[in-house]
Structures are given as structure tokens and as C-alpha cells.
Structure 1
Amino acid sequence: MKKTIVIYFHRLREQLWFRPLLFCLGSVALALFAHQADGTRLDTLVPSIKTESIKGLLDTISASMLVISIFAVASMLSAFAAASNTATPRSFKIVVTDDVSQNALSVFIGSFIFSIVATVALDNGYYDKSGIFILFLLTLSLLTLVILTFLRWVDGISRLGRLEYTISQIESVAAKSLSAHIKQPFLNALPITTPFSHGQSVLSNSVGYVQHVDMAALQALAKKMGLKIQLHCLPGDFIHENFEITSFTTIEDSNLDEITQKINAAIHIGDTRLYDEDPRFGLIALTEIASKALSTGINDPGTAIQIIGSHERLFFLWNEAIENKKETTILYDCIEVPSISMIDFFDDAFTPISRDGAGNLEVMLRLQKAFKSIETINQTDIKKMAIKYSKKAYNRAELSMKYKPDLEILKKECLFYH
């Protein structure tokens, strides 16, 4: 339940309006807070500040911040559109959550609200001597924050939406998701060893992508009703209303309708895939960028080569996991979870690139070098897949490249050739 709340909070944080709303509420509270200093010992300690000087600052802030906020939104929308057009539409969810842009927009809008509230309060005599002094300090502090934020935002918006920056962001998100999967490939539950031969099936009541599985809710249900549950879908899977999402066995008579309802409630379905718990989605998004770059209209093999490097770094996360291996914690011992096949990871990362770049020697050479590098990872599945996909990539190149000396150069880099 706690993890589910955290996930919902993350979804809320991703909304563009969330941080500006919090900053606006904080700005209103801050403007009114200055009044609390009135009637205290500060009255005898602080100097008198003319209200005209504060009103001048507040008028400057209110007049400029709304314009800057509109400009900021327009710049962000342009950057989002550029990221979707030059990279992949799947990058939008990442670019829109850029911290620098959201924080800048929050500060600009919050400053505007602060200046309006403070001006109204000042005009109506809400503050006395100490309150005016505190308001003066708050206004100066806010003005400093606005200037620093604007400078940082100008630097950030120059990168936001650029292809290299988008690739870097997607790789970072993919690395987090993939690292979490490598550490807990079975979601803190048990792996499926033998499918239930006489289990009861639970069918989905929704159509869409699995975005989150509430393992704690499934465990609580299993404990309460004496169930053993086998999960048949993972985050990222597309399911339909006749899809068997789980099967279960029980040692006592149970209410099948209640179990079906609660299991469906624990598996959250949405229209799109999310990066957080879907370790394959980041690989897919990166590969889409490479495929787009290799299209005839764009013809940018350099970007495809850059993406291959990103994939190589992501696969070496398995190597780090082996070096820092820790004992897996089983939190949900009543649930069994399927594994993600290594072939799925290789398909997501390399099949489209080897298909779309089959005729480009530079791309295929870089791909073969990546396979040689990945094959050094001390994991049997990865070694086998690296050799297999090295051969498949060469076979594709063999069909596309008509200049035989290029094929000979490529063959010398293939794993199966050595």
C-alpha cells in the first residue's frame, strides 16, 4: 500500500501544474506570514521601511513575472514538441518532468501570486512596522531567487528538447528502471517454477498496458483467503479482457467473484506504458530514436551509433549487479512471478537497429563491437544472446550490403567469426 501511494504521488508530481500550485500556496502563506512579526520585540529592533519602496519592488515583480511565466510555458511547449519530433513521442513523459523547467515555472508563477497578495495586504494596512520589515526581506529574497532561477532556467531551456539531452534523460530513466529490475527481477516475490495444473484463472476486466502491480495487496489477499497466486503479467504487458492475469490455488472454498475483483483492483491498467516499473520501455524508446535516425528522410547514423552506446552501458548494469550481489529479500511469499526473458531485452534494444541499419557499415560495425563488449559480462544468458544477435545482425547485413569487402570487414568484428 505504501509503495502504491508513493507511485500515485510520483504520477501527481509529473503533472505540469503540481509544483506551481504548491509554490503558489506557499507564496500566499509567506506573504501573510510576515504579519506574525507585528506586536513582537522586533518592533523595537528593526528599522522603519517605507511602504513605497516595497510597493515598487512588488509592482516590478507582478508586472514582469506573469509575462515571464507565459514566455516560460511557450518555451517549454516548443521544447516538448521538438523532443517528440526529433526523438520519439515516447520521450514526452520524461521531458515534461524536467526539474529545471518545472521549478522555474513554479518560481515565476509563485512570485507573481506573492506580489499580488502582498500588495493587496499592504494597501489595506495589514502589516505594521515589523511586518513591513519582514515583508521587505521576503521580497528581496524572492527577487534574488527569481534572478538565480531565471539564469539557471535559461541555461536549462537551451538544452531541453535537444536530441542529445533527450537521449541522456531517457537513458537515465531506463537505467533506474532496469537497475530495480535486476536487483528484484521477481518483484520481491518467488519465481514461477511449475505452473499450477489445477489453478483457478482470473481474467482481466480491462484492456491496456499494465502500469503497476500492487504486490502488497495481492499478498494480503492471499494471506486472508489462503491462496497461492501465480502472476501472468508484468508492468509493460498489454492485456485484454480475456487475458489470464493470474491463477491461484486455495485450500478452502473462496468467493471467486471477490477474489477476481480484488486481483483486478491490484493490477493497475492504463492507456500507455510507464518508465518507472517497466524495464523494457526505456530500451524501446532509445531504439525508436535510432530507427528514426536511420530512416531515409533523416539519415543520421551518428545518432544510431550513440544509441548503441547507451544500450551497451545499460546492459553492463547486469555486470554491476553481479559484482555487488546481495541476497534477495522475499516479501511476498504467497505470490509467484514470471521472469522477463533475456531475448526480450535483446530484441527491444538491437533488432530494430540491426534491421534498419543493415546497409550501413559504420552502424553495423558499432553494433558488432557492442555485442563483443556485452559478451564479456559474466552471465550465461547474456553471453548466449550476444553471440546469437551478432550472427542475426550479420545475416541482415549480408542481405543488404552488396559490396563484399565491407562484409569482410564486418565479419571480422563478429563474435561467431572468432
Structure 2
Amino acid sequence: MNRWLFVWRRTTRELWFRAGLYAVFGIVAALAAVVAAPWVPPALADRFGGESVEQVLTILASSLLAVATFSLGAMVTAYTAVSSAATPRVASLVTGDEATQKSLATFVGAFLYAIVGVTAINAHYYAAAGRAVLFLISLAVVGLVAFRLLAWINRLSRLARLGHMIELVEGRASRALAEAAARPGLGGRAGALGPGAVVVASPRTGYVQNVDPDHLQRAAEAADTRVEVVAGPGTFVRRGEALCRLDLPEADDAVQDSFCAAFTLGRSRSFDQDPRFALTVLGEIAGKALSPGVNDPGTAVEIATTGVRLLDDWQQAREAVDAEAGVSHDRLCAAPLREDDLLDDVFGPLIRYGAGDLRVAIQLQQALQSLGSGRGALGPAARRLQREALKRSLSALGSAPDRGRLKAAIP
């Protein structure tokens, strides 16, 4: 992903960004009413330019602060509940939820609009025509607040629901897997460089959150070299460890910096370009559901079906890309996503913690058998994991009838 696009996406998901944007719009709308005043017909100014607009703004200002405070408290409650019921890694999706941010931002923006409007009226900033424009804008703001309030009530009914969190993680995993399948230049098509390649070292310690293949391609063309990406998205690197390797005898600081700029490092992993992180989070949810304190095998079964859906779509997308001619990033090479790793990320916790549950064991066998019947490298990897899961389940199931039911469930 383009590094600036990655930064933009990450910034727009922050709660303060949308709230600040709506706040600016609210202030501008309140102050800009005087600009449209010259175009207001006298009859409209006489009808709506009275004192009623101040009353409307006063009601908005007095109520929306409480609504915004309540909504923020509800979001914090949902954040805490999701962290406890699922995993702390999925809680960031609550604060980054677009519908939640729009509702909170609308309340904050409308509150500031009302405060600025009342202050401007008391300062005699508006004439009758300006108050008429402000009144019409206030009606639109009231309608928007009512719509967002209803949407927020509907969102609250499922914001902290575990199934909703699984859907959100599945959506992020699906997008990340699709982007990974569509990156032919980062799919290992070029051969690995020799041992004498120049190492581009990481300037600091952290997780690789994003790699910009277009920037790497341009830098490689400028330096007339090939690039081997060593630290892909999700890799933890220490300061001085390799981010990539160059097919050059040597590289000065300027060349190294140009390649370093393609890598975005952070304190934690990101869902955007790291499909294994999303699959790992799904596995964590399943592992927590199978813990003795929770004992929720139904969630584990849902994760198993979600894993089948995600990996099947990824396999088909990768085959479609493989069938296309040409490579857009011919100077790049990197280790592709390994099927065994993807399967273990999502199904590993189910195998380790759900081997002794008959329902989970049967669902695992059916899921892995479904993936194992497909074409490509995913099939053999799924069959290997299916044999391991069966061995663990037969060992963990203490009842002979349960072992018989498990064997009978495998076609």
C-alpha cells in the first residue's frame, strides 16, 4: 500500500480526526450564516429572523453535551466489554468504527455550532437575514442530530456483540488477504539475492506495519538494482536488523534512506496490510471462547467457518492473479504467505484448546477437509493440519463413543 495512503487511513480512523473535522464544520456553518444574508428575501427574514433561533440553539447546546458525554461513555463500556469477551487486539476496531465516529463527531460538531451561534447572536453578529439563515441551518442540524442519534442507538445494540466483532475482523482480514494476493511483485516470483547483497537496516525497533511496493520499485529503478523484502508486514525488527536487501556492491546513506522510507514501523501490528494479524486475532477469539472460564464452543465453531471462507477466497484470488500475465513490480522479491502459517494462525488455537470438545473437533475436521479438497498448495497444508487435529482430538476425547462419533463425522 502507498505509504501516504496508509498514513491517511490510519489518521482518519482516529476518533479525534472526525470529531475535529465536524467541529470545524459546525463553527464555520455558524459564522458563515452572515455571508448568505444578502440573498435572503425580506419576507423570509421577517418570518425566521426573530428570537426563535436562539431558543433552538440553546436547546441544542444544553442537550448535546450530555448526549456526547453519554455516547462516549457507552463507547468506553463497549471497548471494555469487547476487550474482556474477545481480545484486546480487536478493541481498536470499536474506536475506529466509522458509524460510531460519525455519531460522536456529529454530537460534538452540533454542540460547538450551537455554542458559537448563541455567542454570535448575543454579540449582535447577525441581522434579521443572518438569523433567518441560521434558523434554516439549525433545522438541518437538528435533522442530522436526530438521524445520527437513531443510527447510534441501532449501533449500540450490536457494538459490543461478539458476533459483530468477528464480522469486523473478518472484513479487515478479507481486505488484507485480497491485497496480499494482488501484489504479484511481493509474491516471491524473483529469486532471492545472493549472500553478498547490501542490507538496508531498520532505523528503530518495532513492527513493520506497511510496505510501499511502488516506492520500492521506483527506488530500485533509480538505483538500477533488485530488492528482496526481508521484513514484510507484521514482522518485528530490532534497530539494525534487515528490512530489505539490495543487489548492489555497496549503498550510501542516501540510497539506504530511500529504501527505508518504504517501510512504516510502529509499536503494534496493523490490520491494513498484515492478514496474518487479523487471522491471529480470530484465533485468539476462538481460544478465549474455549477457555474453561468462558466455555463457548459456538464461537469457536463460528471462527472455524469464518476461517474456511477467508482462506478459500484468498486461494481463489491468488489463482486469479497467477493466471494474469506480467509482473508490475519486476525488481521486487519477497517470501510469499505460507499456507501452513495462515492455517495455523486461525485454526491452531482451535486445535490446541478445542481438541477435547466433540462439537469443535467435528467442525474442525469438516472445515479442514473442505479446504483440503481444493486445488493449489492450500490443499496439502490443510490435509496435514487435519491429520494433526484428528490425532489430538482422538487423544483428548476420553469417551470411546465420542471418538466413534468423530470418526463417523469424517467422510
Q: Normalization by structure 1: what TM-score?
A: 0.92
Structure-2 residue corresponding to 1:287: 283
Note closer, same or farther for the CA distance 1:323–1:192 as it changes in structure 2 (3 Å cut).
closer
* Number of residue pairs matched by the alignment: 410
- Tell me which amino acid in the other structure corresponds to 2:52: S
Shift of 1:286: 0.6
Paired amino acid for 1:292: K
Deviations 1:70-104 (A, max 9, x none): 11111100001111110011101212111121111
Q: Residues 228-243 of structure 1 correspond to what in structure 2 (within 5 A)?
A: 228-243=226-241
Rounded to whole Å, the distance in 1 between the matches of 2:5 and 2:318 is 28
Q: Distance in 1 between matches of 2:326 and 2:118?
A: 57
Deviation, structure 1 residue 129: 2.8
Change (3 A) 1:319 1:202: closer
Partner residue in 2 for 1:260: 256
Bigger shift: residues 319-328 or 298-307: 319-328
> In structure 2, what is the equivalent of residue 340 of structure 1?
337
Cα distance change, pair 390–342 in 1 and its aligned pair in 2 (3 A): same
State the distance in 1 between where 2:89 and 2:372 align. Answer: 29
Report how far residue 67 of structure 1 moved.
0.8
Match of 1:374 in 2: 371
Distance, in Å, in 1 between the alignment partners of 2:407 and 2:183 is: 38
Distance 1:246 1:305, change over 3 A: same
Counterpart for residue 220 of structure 2: 222
> Cα offset for 1:404?
2.0
Change (3 A) 1:35 1:341: same
Q: Distance in 1 between matches of 2:110 and 2:253?
A: 53
TM-superposed deviation, 1:3 = 2.1
Cα gap change, 1:256 to 1:384, in 2 (>3 Å): same
Confirm or deny that 1:331 pairs with 2:331: no
Task: Give the CA deviation at 1:227.
Answer: 1.7
Deviation, 1:211, is 0.4
User: In 2, distance between residues paired with 1:340 and 1:190?
Assistant: 9
- Deviation, 1:165, is 1.1
Is 1:363 aligned to 2:377, yes or no? no
Mark the CA change 1:208 to 1:173 in structure 2 (over 3 Å): closer, same or farther: same
Deviations 1:200-248 (A, max 9, x none): 2233232221101122332232222222111112101112235332221
**Equivalent position SS for 1:191:** coil
Residue in structure 1 matched with residue 176 of structure 2 by the alignment: 177
Matched with 1:116 is: 115
Give the SS at the match of 1:298: coil
What SS does structure 2 have at the residue aligned with 1:230?
strand
Q: Is the 8 A contact 2:188 2:336 kept in 1?
A: no
Measured at CA, do residues 191 and 412 of structure 1 come closer, stay the same or move farther in structure 2, by a change above 3 Å? same
Alpha-carbon distance between aligned partners in 1 of 2:225 and 2:41, rounded to the nearest angstrom: 66
Name the CA distance, whole Å, in 1 between partners of 2:239 and 2:266. Answer: 13
1:332 maps to amino acid: H
Q: Secondary structure at the match of 1:159?
A: helix
Q: CA deviation at 1:105?
A: 0.6
Match of 2:205 among 186, 204, 207: 207
Instruction: Check the 8 A contact 2:169/2:282 in 1, yes or no.
Output: yes
Determine the C-alpha separation between the residues in 2 that align with 1:44 and 1:57: 21
Listed one character per residue, the Cα deviations across residues 299-340 of structure 1 (whole Å, up to 9, x for unaligned) are: 111111111111111112035426855626633322212211
CA RMSD of the aligned region, Å? 2.1
Match of 1:74 in 2: 73
Distance in 2, matches of 1:182 and 1:227, equals 24
Q: Give, in angstroms, the shift of residue 178 of structure 1.
A: 1.1
Write the distance in 2 (CA, Å) between the matches of 1:395 and 1:198.
Answer: 45
The answer on 1:271 being equivalent to 2:270 is: no
Counterpart in 2 of 1:315? Answer: 311
For 2:356, what is the secondary structure of its paired residue?
Answer: coil
Q: Secondary structure at the match of 1:17?
A: helix
CA distance in 1, matches of 2:358, 2:129: 74
CA offset digits 1:163-196 (Å, max 9, x no partner):
1111111111111111221222544x76242432
Contact residue 2 and residue 213 of structure 2 kept, 8 A: no
Distance 1:295 1:65 in 2: 42
Residue 400, structure 1, aligned to residue 385, structure 2: no
Letter in 1 for 2:163: E
Contact preservation (8 Å) 2:185, 2:327: no
In 1: Cα distance, 2:74 partner to 2:184 partner: 40
Single out whichever of 218-227 and 93-102 deviates more from structure 2.
Answer: 218-227
Closer/same/farther in 2, CA of residues 50 and 258 from structure 1, 3 Å limit: closer
In the TM superposition, residue 21 of structure 1 has moved relative to its aligned partner by 0.3
Change (3 A) 1:41 1:200: closer
User: Any idea what SS the aligned residue of 1:330 has?
Assistant: coil
Offset at 1:382?
A: 1.2
* Distance in 2, Cα, partners of 1:98 & 1:3: 22
**Greater mean deviation of Cα atoms: 192-201 or 51-60:** 192-201
Q: How far does residue 407 in structure 1 lie from its aligned partner after superposition?
A: 1.6
User: Who is 1:93 aligned against?
Assistant: 92
Amino acid at match of 2:275: P
Supply the distance in 1 between the matched residues of 2:311 and 2:223 (Cα, whole angstroms): 40
Structure 2 stretches lacking a partner, 5+ long: none
Query: In structure 1, how many angstroms separate the alpha carbons of the residues matched to 2:220 and 2:93?
Result: 36
**For residue 146 of structure 1, what is the amino acid of its counterpart?**
V
Residue 244 (str. 1) matches residue 232 (str. 2)? no
Structure 1 unaligned residues grouped into runs of 5+: none
Please state whether the residue corresponding to 2:91 is helix, strand or coil.
Answer: helix
